[in-house]
Amino acid sequence: MRTLPVRFRVTQILFILATCIAMQTASASPRIFWVSDPVRPDETVLLQGSDLGASEATVEMAPLENAKPTAPASLPKNLPWTRVPVLQGSDQSLKFVVPAKWGMGVFACRVSAGGAASETVLLNAPDPWWAQGDEGQAASPGGWLRIQGKCLATNGHALLSLEPEQGPSTQLQPTAADEFCLRFNVPADLKPGAYTLRVHNGSGGDAAWRTAGKMRIEPAPVLPPATFSVLEMYGPDAARKMRDTLIKYSQPIDRTEGILAALKKAKENGGGTVFFPAGRYTIRGPLVIPEHTLLKGEGTGLVTLWWGTGHFNLDGGGPQGRARVEEPKPPSPLIYGPDFAIEDVSLYLPLEYEQGLVADKRLRMRRVRVRIDHYWLVQGRGNGAVARLGRNFQVTECDILAKGDALVPGQFGVIAHNRIMANKSNTPMGGSHAVILEDNQFVSMDPTAYQNLAGCARDVYYAHNHHESLYAQQADYSFTFDASAGAYLGAIAEARGTQLTLAADPAYPKWAPEKHDIWRRSAVFILDGRGAGEWRDVTANHGRSWEIDRPFDVAPDASSVVSIVPFNGRVLIVGNHFEDANWVNAGYGTSIDVVCAENELLRCADMMNYGVRAEDWYEPSWHVQYFDNKVTQGQTGVGSTGDGHGAARYTGPLTCWAVHRRHTLTADNSGSISIGGNVRDAIVEGCVLKNPQSVIKADPATQGVVLRNNTFEGTPSPRYTGDGIKNAVVQPAEPARPSRP
């Protein structure tokens, strides 16, 4: 057992002696919590669990036949089991290699130790994290449905079965498929109702079907056909006069009264289209949009809505154009509605805006341009948000400039095919859940701007976005997880099913007292001792009594150290292009079950995974996997680090079970790969380092490091360095050299 501070040792002794406290007893059979996949033949598996038997464990694997899938079935009884050597083992982890002669597919795996065997687990079977439809948590007939996770397709092949509560199932082929995302078109004649989703990745036969949750199929809302022109009350010549405002140096015309009249008619009609003919419109005050209403302009370049005062245009570069305009405080928000759409307009927001658009329940925003009056007067990052997005939103094909945050996503939404420039954050994802952000161009307009998942976020697909900075090569622009805060670090007095009793009182930060909803978006993590590596979602809390979503597989005991912090994880960072960034962090603070794959980094400082310790909270980084990333131009550090920072109330590892596989560090990047600090269990495998200065380093405090089949170009061996190399498994073996000063 790891040595702990005195306060914890005393507490543990008291609980051991207090026989009246009923602790759940754990089975001595090996238990598997997590396995690292996707994994290919001749690659190393990292298996994490409890009671694994260290180096005395026996690991067996068997490939499943790739028969055509029909219906879910149990594993075949007589699998062709093969015993595979254990490269490295402890009671909490085992590492072993998939036989090189096997083909790619789904592999069964089991562990035996102490005369007992674990349950059989499947590697490379589909692992769906969440499903999402064109109506958020629902999909419509004729709409679309997507599944995000890992191991979802083999060579682009996958299958989805939609099983109704009664009647036959419907099987769908994806319109696009890769390991991390499946896309399907929903048949227009599919009956509404609740469906169980099952997914197959094309390998492993009927035993490899996996449930992907439930999805309701229901018709999308229908927009009433009526159209209400905002110029109707101004007479037959109003449209021509508005079009005259598009002539250079012409000024917008106040049409607030007509806009409000059209909105009133839409509300009385139960919705409809509020139409803006070409022109520049001055608006005085906020716009409250009725449900089922579309604000539609004649064209993005033809319709401008403006909340400013004075002159709209700059005038020939004269000094009056740069003068600060004193304006009354603008309303917040400027446009609000629970369920509306907006398209084909340009919005010019006043400099001091706090909130532009706010939608609580449903928003569709397409082909909208957003600009800021007197933007050049913004100092620093700026404040405010262009749009706050609640549930079931889609923002597509927009061109947005923000002085603070641009789009603040909520739950079950899509942000795609946009160009977004921001002083602070393009899309701050803290607090988001089930969000797809893909194929966007993100530009930093301030050297300290960032993209982040702060505090708590879950189920985020962040893919094929292009990052660049206005302040090229001098930017702190980053993509990062951000540490938050915590409620507890210490022992568990009692664990009974889903009910936990803490050994001491929680210590809440001032901004998040006991009843704050962030604690119901948190998790209990067993950092060390019995059950280490398990986590459970919090469902309720009061004083020392906490409730979790399901019992621990291996219940904590007096040796266990737990941390309660907001959950941040199940994030896919795939195929992005990062330029002139500081950190590209797939883990900083709490980061659980994260994949960072197929990204390209140009002139970036670090691609890093980092568990964080502060004085009052401890945030683990577990199960972070990096695949096939390309690092070019500069001196980029790649790796997993475990030192943390702040006072050390707990000194055990926070960064655990990390995989770095098949990275390419090009010849024009002199960075290195490092496993630093007190990291526990990490693999660096199949990486190519082309610069002669690049090395792979392991610090002396690291435990359970495997360095395998990495390639170095430019100078002869050795290229492994650091005092931790002597404790690592290195294949092919090379002599270590002393650490660089």
Condensed to tens digits (0 to 9), the pLDDT of residues 541-552 reads: 999 999 999 999
Given a cut of 90, whether residue 361 has pLDDT beyond it is yes
Higher pLDDT, 582 or 464: 464
Q: Give the SS3 label for residue 600.
A: strand
Q: What pLDDT, in 10s, does the model give residues 561-617?
A: 999 999 999 999 999 999 998 889 988 889 999 999 999 999 999 999 999 887 778
Given a cut of 50, whether residue 14 has pLDDT beyond it is no
Q: What pLDDT, in 10s, does the model give residues 115-141?
A: 999 999 999 999 999 999 999 999 999
215-148-548 Cα angle (round to 5): 75
Q: What percent of the chain has pLDDT over 70?
A: 92
Given a cut of 90, whether residue 101 has pLDDT beyond it is yes
Give the closest residue to 585 by CA, choosing from 641, 649, 662.
Answer: 641
Amino acid sitting at position 602 = L
| Structure-token match 């803490």, residue found | 502
| Structure-token match 């996503």, residue found | 409
| Beta carbons within 8 Å of 265's beta carbon, 6+ residues apart | 226, 228, 272
Query: 241: alpha, beta or left, given left = phi > 0 and alpha = psi -120 to 50?
Result: alpha
* Cα–Cα dist 309/332, whole Å: 17
Concatenate the DSSP letters of all residues of 468-510 into one string.
EESSTTS---EEEEE----SEEE-EEEEETTEEEESS-----T
Query: Cβ–Cβ contacts within 10 Å for residue 460, how many?
Result: 25
Given a cut of 70, whether residue 18 has pLDDT beyond it is no
Q: What pLDDT, in 10s, does the model give residues 82-95?
A: 999 999 999 999 99
The pLDDT-based confidence of 649 (bands split at 50, 70, 90) is confident
Burial level of 614, CB count in 10 A (0-12/13-18/19+)? middle
List C-alpha distances in Å: 403 to 134, 160, 162.
30, 43, 44
Contact 152, 129 (CB under 8 A): no
Mean pLDDT of 160-182: 96
List C-alpha distances in Å: 679 to 265, 622, 641.
63, 10, 6
Contact 348, 283 (CB under 8 A): no
* Cα–Cα dist 576/375, whole Å: 28
Concatenate the DSSP letters of all residues of 692-707 into one string.
TT--EEE-TT-EEEEE
Q: What is the pTM of this model?
A: 0.94
Contact 91, 51 (CB under 8 A): yes
pLDDT at res. 315: 57
394-397-403 Cα angle (round to 5): 85
pLDDT at res. 492: 95
Distance of alpha carbon 110 from the chain centroid: 30
Mean pLDDT of 52-69: 92
Burial level of 740, CB count in 10 A (0-12/13-18/19+)? exposed
pLDDT at res. 4: 44
Residue 639's beta-bridge partner residues? 608, 674
Helix (H) or strand (E) holding 261: helix 256-268
Buried b (16+ CB within 10 A) or exposed e, 230-242: bbeebeeebeeeb
Mean pLDDT of 480-484: 85
pLDDT at res. 25: 39
Query: Cβ–Cβ contacts within 10 Å for residue 281, how many?
Result: 25
Mean pLDDT of 324-329: 78
Q: What is the mean pLDDT of the chain?
A: 91
